[in-house]
Amino acid sequence: MSETANLTIKLPLELKERIKALAESNSVSMSAEIGARLERSLNEDSQPHVAADVDNQHTQEITEQPFTSSEVKKLRALLNAASQKKTQEKISFLAFR
């Protein structure tokens, strides 16, 4: 960050006061505090997330590949068959009432 630019932003008053207090506790200006925090935030966004950092319950996650189009067709056929069977069962039930 060799060059600086002026930027006017609108913040909630509570956030401004929090930044001011943090800047004072770090013995820097509000501008320096905001710049450092933005820089840190942007650098964190570019870092890949480590699974251990995200998973705080230590559960093992299994990554599944998405269904292929033929698998989707088979699933649809199974669902349609099950739906038709239920419909036929309802019709049979109502017929014998």
Q: What is the pLDDT of residues 15-32, one digit of tens each?
A: 999 999 999 999 999 999
DSSP class of residue 96 equals T
| Residue 54 within a domain | no
| Residue 56 within a domain | no
Per-residue pLDDT tens digits for 78-97:
999 888 888 888 778 777 76
Domain count, the chain: 2
Radius of gyration of the chain (CA): 29
DSSP 30-74: HHHHHHHHHHHHHHHHHSPPPHHHH-TT-PPP-PPPPPPHHHHHH
Residue 46: pLDDT band (50, 70, 90) is confident
| Residue 26 within a domain | yes
| Residue 62 within a domain | no
| Residue 1 within a domain | no
Handedness of CA 26, 32, 33, 36 (dihedral sign): negative
Closest CA to 5 of 40, 49, 35: 35
| Residue 59 within a domain | no
Residue 86: domain span: 68-97
| Residue 80 within a domain | yes
| Residue 18 within a domain | yes
